[in-house]
Amino acid sequence: MYSHSIVSYLLAIYCLAEDHPVRSVEIAHRLQVTRASVAKMLKVLAASGLVEKAPYGAVRLTARGAEQTKEFYREFLLLQSYLRQCLQVPQPQAEQDAVRCLCQLSRETRERMTHGISSACGSSHEFHSR
């Protein structure tokens, strides 16, 4: 299980990437953290084999990081949409709570939840992952 910070950073990199490397300053801006915080977390992510970063260069998810983050992203979108549309949770809180669910719940529970939400919401809620 990954921490809230790690999942937040992975999702930020994934969303910013769109087939191009991401700069640290973009991550800092998206997460509203300092560039020093980004540099520190990127060292953690690189040591875990989730990202690659050239010195003073761009950041990319590794194959392992991309695979894990794609799964998180799909679940994130589904949970966030459920919180916003079904429970009327405001956008910023829905985003934070969706990430917390990804971090605190077991994989099995997340899978059951996302399957249940997909089934309950029907085909009107299509979620496309990149």
Domains and CATH numbers, the chain: 4-62 (1.10.10.10), 66-122 (no CATH)
Segment 37-48 shows an average pLDDT of 96
Which of left, alpha, beta for 106 (phi over 0: left; psi -120 to 50: alpha)? beta
pLDDT at 101: 87
- Which residues partner with 51 through β-bridges? 61
- Which residues partner with 22 through β-bridges? 59
pLDDT at 55 over 90: no
pLDDT at 11 over 60: yes
Digit-coded pLDDT (tens) for 66-94: 999 999 999 899 889 888 988 899 998 99
pLDDT at 42 over 90: yes
Segment 92-112 shows an average pLDDT of 87
